[in-house]
Amino acid sequence: YQAKSGGDSVATYDSTRDAASTDQLALLAELREALQTDDQLVLVLQPAVDLATGAPTGVEALIRWRHPRRGLLSPADFIRAVENSDQLGSFTRYVLDKALTVAAGWAGEGLDIPISVNLSARSLLDPRLPSEIAEALCRHQVPADRLVLEITETVVMSELEVIDQVLSALRAMGVQLAVDDFGTGFSSLSFLARVAVDELKVDRSFVLRMGDSPQAAAIVRYTVGMAHELGLRVVAEGVETAAQRSALTELGCTAAQGYHFFKPMPADKIAAVLNSLARQTPTNVLPLRADG
């Protein structure tokens, strides 16, 4: 929200903030309604692909709010408000329920692909989370290891004692954990040393700058190397160009996600895309590298 207020004069600061917080309250009241309907909060889905074969390695669920008056809202417009409200629990359950509905549909089509759901770090402070997730998996008959929970490490470090139990319970159930936006937190490595995870997602900012920043390229290379050494999967986020794709392959990265492959798409499109990816040969999916 600081990006939106834009005013730099101290005199207008308070009124801007008041207006902003009044609007947040209105938004939260509207969210309460949206959580009761079935068509306002929708998931779009973005596959990640294996860089060598083009096969889908997973699909990430991303929330959108089709607001009746405000138009289409992306997470940046409302997630922060939800996280700081008493509706985070209902919101998290709603997203998980929608995501598992999608995943359950794939099983019916013979697609065996994990679905990734983004969790707000704060929801890991709720000791009821593991049993709620267990219940949802059971209700949708989705095996626990088909669910990947994406968490960002920044907020979490300060509360690590508290969330240790929640994360251990989730791991014991067989749910997979991914560190999202890896490298952007203040304590990424401490987080990795403490929490057993299955996957690292290299933040888009490094992928974006990799081409002209030796620093960014080194960060990607070392993240990929470390992931391999630790036996973790690694996925590069935000890949937009063929040049980025080949650079990632050269750095040893094996999986990627981004507009270059797929933009997030509506739930009713995803099964057809996954089916066609599964049927195609690798060379049909991704053009061969010039040097390959």
Which residues are near ligand C2E by CB under 6 A?
A: 46, 62-63, 74-76, 79, 95, 118-120, 150, 180-181, 237-240, 257-259, 264
CB 286 within 8 A of CB 56: no
Cβ nearer to ligand C2E, comparing 150 with 199: 150
Cβ nearer to ligand C2E, comparing 30 with 240: 240
Q: What are phi and psi of 183, to 5 degrees?
A: 100, -15
CB 59 within 8 A of CB 257: no
Distance separating alpha carbons of residues 154 and 86, to the nearest angstrom: 21
Choose among ligand C2E, Mg ion, none what residue 74 binds, the Cβ cut-off being 5 to 8 Å by kind: ligand C2E
Cβ nearer to ligand C2E, comparing 16 with 66: 66
Query: Binding string to Mg ion for residues 224 to 263, with x set by CB under 5 A, is what?
Result: -------------x--------------------------
Query: Binding string to Mg ion for residues 180 to 209, with x set by CB under 5 A, is what?
Result: xx---------------------xx-----
Q: How far are the Cα atoms of 22, 59, 121 from residue 208, in angstroms, in the given order?
A: 36, 21, 25
> Can you say whether the dihedral through the CA atoms of 111, 179, 74, 141 is positive or negative?
positive
Query: Which are the contacts of 165, defined by CB distance < 8 A and separation ≥ 6?
Result: 127
Cβ nearer to ligand C2E, comparing 114 with 238: 238
The DSSP bridge pattern shows strands 233-236 and 255-256 to be parallel
Give least dist CB 193 to ligand C2E, A: 22
**Sites of contact with Mg ion (CB under 5 A):** 118, 150, 180-181, 203-204, 237
